[in-house]
Amino acid sequence: MAENGISATEAAEAMEVLVAQECELRYARRFGATEALDLGVAAAHLASEFSETYTVTITRETDGEVAFQWLGEGKGARNLVFAAGKRAAALASGHASPWTQLEAIASDKPLDEVWAHVPEVCPACGAFPIRVGDEWVATIAVSGLHEGLDHEVIVRALEQVLGTTVPRFAVAVA
């Protein structure tokens, strides 16, 4: 069992779920300012379903500019720093932000190095690639919840705007 309570087998299974989510949760034609607004508002509207608030940031990857940002009550600079770190982890791995963490656990590698650069690079749940077809055009990042719920907000918001459903992790991924 890894330090965070997930076995190597569970981590490998979570990676498979993550790949399935990334394949299904894609835009078919475009992702521009209107789509960023729709997705961001959908993610923000989910806040009433959680006991804590969070931040939502959508960043265009063509120029690194923020296309949408929302800060729930009581959230601010600290959450934005972690959201940026989750985005950096996603971009570094080519997948959603917990990929590097899951990959290390699945390979029975120590997690010290995975977590060595937090908050600049934060391989925890909460950043997800927004793709149009196979092109990564933006990243949505959520920060403020715990136990993988940042990822859940993203997945539920994408499911809502894209009109689909995807599989979920069988274990809690941080």
> Minimal CA–CA distance to 122: which of 132, 114, 110?
114
> Minimal CA–CA distance to 154: which of 24, 60, 40, 68?
40
Q: What is the pLDDT of residue 5?
A: 85
What is the dotted CATH code of the domain comprising 8-145?
Answer: 3.30.450.150
Reported as a single tens digit per residue, the pLDDT across 84-110 is: 999 999 999 999 999 999 999 999 999
CA–CA distance, 55 with 47 (Å, rounded to integer): 10
CA–CA distance, 64 with 162 (Å, rounded to integer): 24
- Residue 43's identity, in one-letter code, is A
pTM of the model: 0.96
CB 128 within 8 Å of CB 139: yes
> Minimal CA–CA distance to 143: which of 66, 63, 78?
78
Reported as a single tens digit per residue, the pLDDT across 12-63 is: 999 999 999 999 999 999 999 999 999 999 999 999 999 999 999 999 999 9
**Distance set, CA 109 to CA 7, 94, 152 (Å):** 12, 19, 26
DSSP E strands in 15-134: the ranges are 55-60, 66-71, 127-132
Reported as a single tens digit per residue, the pLDDT across 103-153 is: 999 999 999 999 999 999 999 999 999 999 999 999 999 999 999 999 999
3-state SS, residue 124:
coil
Q: Say which residues have a Cβ less than 8 Å from residue 167's Cβ, sequence separation at least 6.
A: 17, 20, 21
